[in-house]
Amino acid sequence: MSNHEQAALVRQSLKRRYRKERRFRFYGILAIAIALAALVTLFADIIGKGYTGFIKTTMTLEVRFDPKTMYLEDATDKDAFSMADFKAPLLAALHDVVPEAGDSDDRDLGHLLSSYAANKVRDTLEADPSLLGKTQTMTFLVSDDVSVYVKHADDPNYSIQLSEKQQGWVDQLQERGIIQNSFNDVFFQNGDSRDPGHAGVLGAIVGSVLTMVVTLLLSFPIGVAAAIYLEEFAPQNKFTDFIEVNINNLAAVPSIIFGLLGLAVFINLFGLPRSVPLVGGLVLTLMTLPTIIISSRAAIKSVPPSIREAAEGIGASKMQVVLHHVLPLALPGMLTGSIIGMAQALGETAPLLLIGMVAFIVDVPSGFVDAATVLPVQIFLWAGSPELAFIERASAAIMVLLTFLIGMNALAIWLRRRLERRW
Amino acid sequence: MQPGNLFPLVVVLIGIAFALGYARSRALATPLGGIRHLKSLPFYYAARASLWCGLPALIIFALWLGFEDKVIQTLVIGSLPADIQPDSPGRASLILSQISNVASGALSPEFVPEPIAGAADRLTALRAESKLMMTILVICVAILGAFVAWLRIAPHINARAKVESTLRKIFFMCAGLAILTTVGIIFSVIFETIHFFHKVSFLEFFFGTSWSPQTAIRADQVGSSGSFGMIPLFVGTLLISGIAMVVAVPVGLMSAIYLSEYASKRMRSIVKPLLELLAGVPTVVYGFFAALTVAPFIADAAGWLGLDASTESALAAGLVMGIMIIPFVSSLSDDVINAVPQTMRDGSLALGATQAETMTKVIFPAALPGIMGGILLAVSRAIGETMIVVMAAGLAANLTINPLEAVTTVTVQIVTLLTGDQEFDSAKTLSAFALGMMLFIVTLALNVIALHVVRKYREQYE
């Protein structure tokens, strides 16, 4: 075959080869497009499902604390107080704003308000007994069914439980501004509740913060110390190698295995209580340690040898070189790595399920050994509920969680840009 | 004293020990003619005093807190009269929870037998006693330690060397914690697993094709035996992981190739962080997405096509898990592709190959071992992934490879068996540990192989 013929052959195949090239390139773009589409769908889905979670629907009523209908003559009398009827003033107030409702509509009318409304009347009166016989303007959460109707009347996924009559009342009340939508501050002030309107993330956020405090206080110093030992002091021998192999493997062990470890060691062996932030923090510490050790070692490695040599040259001991010179220079890198490790721990759910942090907990935890739950577990609990109102809460909680995570990652990036030195 | 208050107190004591040590070393130095006559700087004498003060006290503190409950429980159970002595661990934990409920006031003493109420009083007393003893012991040890160290401050002692060697030992122990964790994992699953195999045979566990861990509470109940064949779980896990890999490997690999070979700097700087964002989303969020959006969508779509799909289909969990793993595969392949020397690329392009040909015929084969290592790591992640499958896959152990049916996985079963009420020591609870052991061994093996392959590959081009 002459050169000429060869050139002709190549030229003939060129078209096909270029087509292949274009196809290959297209596959690459397609892959990226798929990944990004998944990302966008995920976020759009969650925001679409959950933004209504940040809205609460309330009803403002003129409540008259009528001693007669409440069967309560003296509000300071404890026995009479516990027997009093706190629904009566609410019903009367509802009748005032819905004049067309007759006496037979009491049930339907009462159903417009959340079942906790009577508790609010009681608490208000208990706090200020002089209100008996007076009238006060009070704002109540509406019942779930009303809330669903107000927020999702057009959404086919939600089924409207209100009767035609009730719908008419709600429409009219909304028009008159008695039923209103506003920012859902209840969501950030309450713990979990059986009633979606009253369920909030505060308990879960506090639980997460307590757990993270334990994790950070343990994993950062231990991780940094381990990294310093491995990078600066460890002799080159089999044992050091063994430690390294262990760390690398632990970084890839499924998180649920750490849950088994926590269950067997911290709860069954040491007898620590279940469902508490202390144990959660211990488990997450063991889980995040490898990440922190690995990133801290990288940070130590990036400190140039000239720094060490200079310090050694003027007579610093090995420990002084490390603590006075290497560590301060490596610290920003270590911090960045730790924040990323913390962000992972904050989103972790599986191991916490095994140590019992899935309980239904209404109270906001006040200490490290109080029963608590954390944000991701709260999301898991709400997501498993058959009520759509809880799904809405779960999406809203996801947005809160993602905000925290993005914030932490942004902080890490900012720290890296700001503090990290290139040598 | 509450542990929450004792800890700050110890910290204060450490501070005082530091100050006293500092003062004494300076005082000793002054008649000699200044601190240059000391063997070490005053700081090190002070640091040594605080180490002596803090270390033993904190170690005792931690050990006490760790074993306090266990010891008290054993004492309380031991003090019960012989006729209600628990005969099994399950019974013991029942009685214990009764006792502690009475002690905490959640249960009125009138509702329980008299010895239990007595034991509750004893529990309260023991707890108070233990708190008091711990407080006294910890404070005494701290003060004693500080005092000894304070006495031993002398100009000829090289405090720096001593402090440094102690610090070194502490650093070493921190590094050793990694080994301790591994050992802890192995021990926490191995005993229960051995226990499990006393109740259920090896053969049934590894080759049984039916999994229904419901054991009866009463002996005469129908279907009381329960069956523990892990094959359906194993197949379910592989099915879901397989679907995940079918999604993640091509998408992750192709996006890594495009980003490293074709994309402009600008595009890379936008797309890469977005992919990393995908990696930062917590798994519970993926689970939520899979269970509430993808699964109903697939069920509807299948119904529309005339197929019958479960609302807990393996396909939904697998697809979403695949999305989760995309950034993992892409960043690992990116590393590997970038590790191939530029000279190989240049050589191939210079011979007239197109970029695609260079990629598929030169770089890809060269990077293949590394990519395989990355894929193995991704598989191990998919197998160990828990939340997505807990939320989106089913509980029933169907032995099927139809992606539209519901299957269950090893991790789902571990979570289901260990959350909620557990019967202590039953084959049902123990089987979770056996499954955990299997999971640990399989993922460990995959990781070891993968890390080995990746390292070997890196060495080749370094």
What pLDDT does residue A414 have? 86
- Angstrom CA distances, B231 to B211, B218, B321, B435, stand at 8, 28, 21, 11
Task: Pick the closest to residue A398 from A386, A390, A387 (CA basis).
Answer: A390
Q: Do A350 and B390 lie within an 8 Å CB cutoff?
A: yes
Q: How far is B317 from chain A (nearest CA, A)?
A: 14
Claim to verify: residue A278 and residue A405 sit in the same structural domain: yes
From chain B, pick out residues whose CB is under 8 angstroms from the CB of A261: 181, 184-185, 188
Q: Do A350 and B386 lie within an 8 Å CB cutoff?
A: yes
What pLDDT does residue B243 have? 95
What pLDDT does residue A139 have? 86
Q: How far is B444 from chain A (nearest CA, A)?
A: 7
End position of a domain, from candidates A117, A150, A183: A183
What pLDDT does residue B222 have? 53
User: Which chain B residue has the Cα nearest residue A230?
Assistant: B175
Please give the average per-residue pLDDT across B359-377, as a whole number. Answer: 90
Claim to verify: residue A227 and residue A358 sit in the same structural domain: yes
Claim to verify: residue A293 and residue A144 sit in the same structural domain: no
Q: Do B387 and A350 lie within an 8 Å CB cutoff?
A: yes
Q: Do B179 and A45 lie within an 8 Å CB cutoff?
A: no
From chain B, pick out residues whose CB is under 8 angstroms from the CB of A352: none
- Angstrom CA distances, B51 to A224, A306, B28, stand at 19, 32, 20
Picking from A36, A42, A248 by the largest number of B CB atoms within 10 A of its own CB, the best residue to mutate is: A42
Under a CB-based contact definition with an 8 Å cutoff, are residues A291 and A247 in contact? no
Place of tokens 């008290």: B72
Please give the average per-residue pLDDT across B8-37, as a whole number. Answer: 89
Task: Pick the closest to residue A186 from A57, A47, A335, A4 (CA basis).
Answer: A57
Picking from A14, A228, A261, A370 by the largest number of B CB atoms within 10 A of its own CB, the best residue to mutate is: A261
Locate A219 and state its tokens: 């994993």
What pLDDT does residue B425 have? 67
In a domain? residue A254: yes
Picking from A32, A224, A401 by the largest number of B CB atoms within 10 A of its own CB, the best residue to mutate is: A32
Q: How far is A365 from chain B (nearest CA, A)?
A: 15
What pLDDT does residue A84 have? 79
Q: How far is B218 from chain A (nearest CA, A)?
A: 26
Give the ipTM of the model, two decimals please. Answer: 0.89
What pLDDT does residue A379 have? 94
User: Which chain A residue has the Cα nearest residue B62?
Assistant: A270
Q: Name which residue leads in pLDDT, B64 or B81.
A: B64
Claim to verify: residue A149 and residue A272 sit in the same structural domain: no
Task: Pick the closest to residue B323 from B373, B225, B392 (CA basis).
Answer: B392
Q: What is the mean pLDDT of chain B?
A: 86
CATH assignment of the domain containing A285: 1.10.3720.10
Which residues have C-beta within 8 Å of that of residue A395, sequence separation ≥ 6?
A: A46, A47, A49, A50, A51, A53, B288
CATH architecture of B227-461: Orthogonal Bundle (1.10)
In a domain? residue A274: yes
Nearest to A31 among B188, B251, B391 (CB): B251
Claim to verify: residue A208 and residue A163 sit in the same structural domain: no
Q: Name which residue leads in pLDDT, B311 or B300.
A: B300
In a domain? residue A11: no
Claim to verify: residue A208 and residue A178 sit in the same structural domain: no
Residue-range domain boundaries for chain B: 3-157, 227-461
Task: Pick the closest to residue A405 from A340, A343, A345 (CA basis).
Answer: A343
Place of tokens 């109102």: A389
What pLDDT does residue B215 have? 59
Nearest to B284 among A31, A272, A376 (CB): A376
End position of a domain, from candidates A116, A148, A183: A183
Q: Do B164 and A401 lie within an 8 Å CB cutoff?
A: no
For residue B35, give the amino acid letter. Answer: I
Claim to verify: residue A133 and residue A217 sit in the same structural domain: no
Nearest to A254 among B178, B259, B384 (CB): B384
Q: Do A383 and B288 lie within an 8 Å CB cutoff?
A: yes
Picking from B171, B186, B325, B357 by the largest number of A CB atoms within 10 A of its own CB, the best residue to mutate is: B171
Q: Do A24 and B356 lie within an 8 Å CB cutoff?
A: yes
Q: How far is A193 from chain B (nearest CA, A)?
A: 19
End position of a domain, from candidates A123, A154, A183: A183
Nearest to A25 among B253, B262, B436 (CB): B262
From chain A, pick out residues whose CB is under 8 angstroms from the CB of B440: 253-254, 257
In a domain? residue A264: yes
Please give the average per-residue pLDDT across B167-181, as a whole number. Answer: 92
Q: How far is B356 from chain A (nearest CA, A)?
A: 5
Is a pLDDT exceeding 60 seen at residue B13?
yes
Q: Do A225 and B168 lie within an 8 Å CB cutoff?
A: no
Claim to verify: residue A221 and residue A167 sit in the same structural domain: no
User: Which chain A residue has the Cα nearest residue B289?
Assistant: A42
From chain A, pick out residues whose CB is under 8 angstroms from the CB of B386: 254-256, 349-350
Q: Do A358 and B66 lie within an 8 Å CB cutoff?
A: no
In a domain? residue A107: yes
Claim to verify: residue A272 and residue A123 sit in the same structural domain: no
Nearest to B387 among A21, A349, A405 (CB): A349
Q: Whole domain around residue A300: which residue ranges? A: 202-419
In a domain? residue A18: no
What pLDDT does residue B213 have? 78
Q: How far is B287 from chain A (nearest CA, A)?
A: 8
Is a pLDDT exceeding 80 seen at residue B112?
no
Q: Do A264 and B448 lie within an 8 Å CB cutoff?
A: no
Please give the average per-residue pLDDT across B141-159, as a whole number. Answer: 89
pLDDT class for B203, splitting at 50, 70, 90? confident
Q: Do A270 and B258 lie within an 8 Å CB cutoff?
A: no
Under a CB-based contact definition with an 8 Å cutoff, are residues A254 and B386 in contact? yes
Please give the average per-residue pLDDT across B173-183, as a whole number. Answer: 91
Secondary structure of chain B in the HEC alphabet?
CCHHHHHHHHHHHHHHHHHHHHHHHHHHHHHHCCHHHCCCCHHHHHHHHHHHHHHHHHHHHHHHHHHHHHHHHHHHHHCCCHHHCCCCHHHHHHHHHHHHHHHHCCCCHHHCCHHHHHHHHHHHHHHHHHHHHHHHHHHHHHHHHHHHHHHCCCCCCCHHHHHHHHHHHHHHHHHHHHHHHHHHHHHHHHHHHHHHHHHCCHHHHHHCCCEECCCCCCCCCCCCCCEECCHHHHHHHHHHHHHHHHHHHHHHHHHHHHHHHHCCHHHHHHHHHHHHHHHHCCHHHHHHHHHHHHHHHHHHHHHHCCCCCCCCEHHHHHHHHHHHHHHHHHHHHHHHHHHCCHHHHHHHHHCCCCHHHHHHHHHHHHHHHHHHHHHHHHHHHHHHCCHHHHHHCCCCCCCCCCCCCECCCHHHHHHHHHCCCCCCCCHHHHHHHHHHHHHHHHHHHHHHHHHHHHHHHHHHHC
Cα(A49)–Cα(B81) distance, rounded to whole angstroms?
59
User: Which chain A residue has the Cα nearest residue B252?
Assistant: A31
pLDDT class for B420, splitting at 50, 70, 90? low
How many domains are there within chain A? 2
In a domain? residue A7: no
Q: How far is A113 from chain B (nearest CA, A)?
A: 29
In a domain? residue A148: yes
What pLDDT does residue B95 have? 80
Q: Give the tens place of pLDDT for each residue, B209-233.
A: 888 877 555 555 555 567 888 888 9
User: Which chain B residue has the Cα nearest residue A289?
Assistant: B178
Claim to verify: residue A123 and residue A221 sit in the same structural domain: no
pLDDT of chain A, 423 residues: tens digit per residue: 678 888 888 888 888 999 999 999 999 999 999 999 999 999 999 998 888 889 888 888 888 888 878 787 777 777 777 777 888 888 888 888 888 877 777 788 888 888 788 888 888 888 888 877 888 888 888 888 888 888 887 777 777 778 888 888 888 888 888 888 889 888 898 888 888 888 889 999 999 999 999 999 999 999 999 999 999 999 988 988 889 888 988 988 999 999 999 998 888 888 788 889 999 999 999 999 999 999 999 999 989 999 999 999 999 999 999 999 999 999 988 998 899 899 999 999 999 999 888 888 888 888 888 888 999 999 999 998 888 888 889 999 999 999 999 999 888 888 888 876 766
